[in-house]
Amino acid sequence: MGTLPVTAEGQITLSKEMLEHLGVRLGDRITVEMLPRGILEMRAAGQAGQISEVFGLPKNKRREALSIDEIKDATARGWAKREKPTDQ
């Protein structure tokens, strides 16, 4: 965790690491919810993409069924507009 300076305009800048953690890129939006006790909760806003962006994501070259974890990972990558994981 870190601290962020507040500008004269009342704005903060999130670090590259924080943006990557949220899974957002330039032009994406972040949802902020105000919680009790002065807590703000930030999340990547659900972006309505084109359905064609998710076609074929569950495919694999092994020709065997994907596990639930592999399907969840493929779905997360698709909605976050990420490339294939580096460990494959």
CB 32 within 8 A of CB 41: yes
- Which domains can be identified in the chain, with CATH numbers? 1-46 (2.10.260.10), 51-80 (no CATH)
Q: How many CB atoms lie within 10 A of CB 26?
A: 5
Average pLDDT of 31-55? 77
What is the per-residue pLDDT for 2?
Answer: 79
Kindly state the tokens that stand for 15.
């670090």
Q: 45-78: per-residue pLDDT in tens?
A: 875 555 555 566 656 566 677 788 888 887 887 7
SS3 22: helix
Residue of higher predicted confidence among 22 and 58: 22
| pLDDT on residue 6 | 94
Predicted confidence (pLDDT) per residue in 5-17, tens digit = 999 999 999 988 8
Question: How many CB atoms are closer than 10 A to CB 31?
Answer: 11
The reported pTM is: 0.48
CA distances from 44 to 3, 16, 32, 53, 63 (A): 20, 14, 9, 18, 33
